[in-house]
Each structure stands twice: as C-alpha cells, then as structure tokens.
Structure 1
Amino acid sequence: MDNRQAVGSWLSGPRAAMEDAGADLGYRGEQLGLPQEGPNSIARPGRRIGALAVDWGLSVLIAYGLITQGDSPATSNWALLVFFVLSVLTVGTVGFTPGKRIFGIRVVSLETGAVNPLRALLRSVLLCLAVPALVWDRDGRGLHDRLARTVEVRI
C-alpha cells in the first residue's frame, strides 16, 4: 500500500478502511433487519443534523418568547428545557419532532415499532447530555438510541 492509498483510506473513515482490509460490514441497518434504501432504512446523518437544527431553533424561539429580559444564558437554559419537553412529548406520542417530520425521519422502537413515553424520556435525557449522541455504532445509531433501543428511520 503506497502513501496515497493509506491517506485515502484514512480520509474515507474507518468503515472504508475496514472494507479495504476485506471486512464485509454490510450496509447500515442490516443487522437490525432494516432495508438498505427507501422507507424504514436508517436515516442518514445529514437529515438527522438538519432535524436537530430545526428543533433547536424552534426551542430557542420558544425560550426567547418565555424570557422577557432576553438574558442569553437564561435563554439557552430555557431552550434546553423546551427542547427536552418537545422531544419527550412528540417522540413519545407520534414518533417524531417537528424537525424530524420536516426531514422525513421518525424514531421507532426495535421491538414494537412504537416508542413508548418512558423510552422517549430516556432517549431525550441522553440526547440532552450530548455526549451519547456523539458516539455512534456501525449502523450510525447514537449511544442514546442504542440504550433506549430505538432507531431513526426514513419515512
């Protein structure tokens, strides 16, 4: 392997490096019994980040409306609380937040398909901690989804 191949595999990420080494990782969601493309396939990171941005923006707007002083630190604390409540209520009832709906994503339970409120609560607490959402498995699920036994799929 020359330097160009080594740099190319590094830039492509660990998944590409593993595949170059001969490991067959399959597609994202294969181990979960999900299709590779189309409805019910794993939601891609771009969609998920877009949905998160919409939900966070909505939460900031609501928090700013609740705080009349416009104090920035207080607004961000309120925004996190609004984001948490929005996530628990919407994911626990209809399976998606406003941002997820706009980007064509829903959250489903691996066992039943529907996310119950307790599972949505656990998922939302871990999501608000941020670190679990930044640790992904080979299927692209965050640690918050793994612990809550949920997955974000395309609608």
Structure 2
Amino acid sequence: MPPSASPPTTFGQLPPSRWPGERLGLPDEGPLSVGRAGRRMLGLLIDYALAMALAFAVFRYTFLNYNGFVVTGTYVLLQVLFIPTIGGSIGHRLVGLRVIPLAGGWVGPWRPIVRSVLLGLAFPALVWDSDQRGFHDKVAGTVLVRG
C-alpha cells in the first residue's frame, strides 16, 4: 500500500469532519448535536452577567469599582456548582445546552472542576478542534451539546 493510501495514524492526519461532533458519534442536528457558537456565546454572556451580579451583590462592587478576579472566581464557582447538578450552567440551560461526558453517564464532580478552572483562564475556550470542543472540554472529557 503506498504511503499516501495508508490509514491515518495521528490526529493531524485525520480527514476533516463533515459536521462538528461526527468523530464523536454525535448527530449533525437536533438533540445531542454539538452546541454551536451562537448558543455558546449567549450562554457565556448570561453566565458572566449572573457572576457579575452575584459578585456585585456580595462584595458591593460597582461597574466603576470591581475586582475582575473575584468576578471570574464567581463565574468558575457557579460552573462547578451547576454543571453536575443541572447538567450545565444556568446560561447553558437557558439556551438549550448541557455538558455531557464523552464516556457517558453522570459528569461527576471532577470534570466540572477541571473544565471550569481551565475555562476561567479564558484561552482554552479560544482553541477549538473540528468538533468545536475547546481545550477545557478536551481535557475534562466533556462536550457541550444541545438538549
């Protein structure tokens, strides 16, 4: 068999997916399809607004005087609390998304912690693969799906 016809051996040699989630065995549309960018961003805005509101209320911050680390910490805490209990953050659930583990079953306590701490660092969410999974989801073994 010539080298160009050999089966892929590394991730970089895999052919492009036809839709996000194809390689994960997820459908192109409908329930359990990978959550697309618009829903993700809207969910993120909702979650960050809730984190800001909570941090502002607890620490008596204003828009002119607040600590971004406290707001980000509040955001991470809300993610860690709600992903294992309601299947996603409040923003995720309001826009019709949920976080599931690739292995199936319950997401458990450690996946939301790893996922959320990495997400709090911001840059993992900016690095996506062809399945539209950020680095934080890849490390945690999770995927954000519709449903």
Query: Normalising by the residue count of structure 2, what TM-score does the alignment of the two structures yield?
Result: 0.84
Moved more, 130-139 or 93-102: 93-102
Q: Aligned equivalents of 1:65 and 1:141: distance in 2?
A: 33
Aligned partner of 2:53 among 42, 51, 61:
61
Runs of 4+ in 1 over 2 A off after TM superposition: 68-74
Do the aligned residues in 2 keep the contact of 1:59 with 1:79 (CA within 8 Å)? yes
- What is the percentage of aligned positions where both structures have the same residue? 42
Aligned residue for 1:125? 117
Normalising by structure 1, what TM-score? 0.80
Offset at residue 73 of structure 1 (A): 3.6
Q: Measure the CA separation in 2 of the matches of 1:69 and 1:101.
A: 27
Structure 1's unaligned 5+ residue stretches are: 1-22
Cross-structure match for 1:72: 65
Determine if contact 2:88/2:99 at 8 Å carries over to the other structure.
yes
Choose which of 116, 134, 141 in structure 2 pairs with 1:142.
134
Give the whole-Å Cα distance in 1 for the aligned partners of 2:61 and 2:95.
Answer: 33
Q: Which has the bigger relative contact order, CA under 8 A and spacing at least 6? A: 2
Q: Aligned equivalents of 1:121 and 1:147: distance in 2? A: 11
Question: Are the equivalent residues in 2 in contact too, given 1:93–1:116 (CA < 8 A)?
Answer: no
Q: Which amino acid aligns with 2:65?
A: S
CA–CA distance in structure 2, aligned partners of residues 110 and 69 of structure 1: 39
1:31 aligns with 2:23: yes
Q: Which has the higher helix share?
A: 1
